[in-house]
Amino acid sequence: MSRYQDAIETATKALTIAAETGDTRQQAWARQYIASWYVRLGDYARAGKTRARPSRSRKRPGTGRGTR
């Protein structure tokens, strides 16, 4: 496995944790890193899909509180 594939795997785990805790800021960072590594691997379609995925949480970034 290449170092980029290792990085994608690690960032995907971080994305899962961020989603479980509702931390949208960290979700965005993880998606950004994953997308950039897909670009370096030449997988532009997957990079675009990774970046385009919206956050499913209504919580404010970096907090455990809702928007209201």
Give yes or no for a contact between 15 and 30, defined as CB atoms under 8 angstroms apart: yes
Within a domain: 67: no
pLDDT computed for residue 68 by the predictor: 44
Within a domain: 60: no
Give Cα 49 to chain centroid, integer Å. Answer: 11
Within a domain: 62: no
pLDDT computed for residue 64 by the predictor: 56
Count of domains observed in the chain: 1
Three-state DSSP at 41 gives coil
pLDDT computed for residue 40 by the predictor: 94
Within a domain: 65: no
pLDDT computed for residue 19 by the predictor: 94
Please write the tens of the pLDDT for every residue from 25-63.
999 999 999 999 999 999 999 999 998 765 554 455 555
Please write the tens of the pLDDT for every residue from 3-32.
999 999 999 999 999 999 999 999 999 999
Within a domain: 31: yes
CA 54, 25, 22, 14 torsion-angle sign? positive
Domain range for 15: 3-52
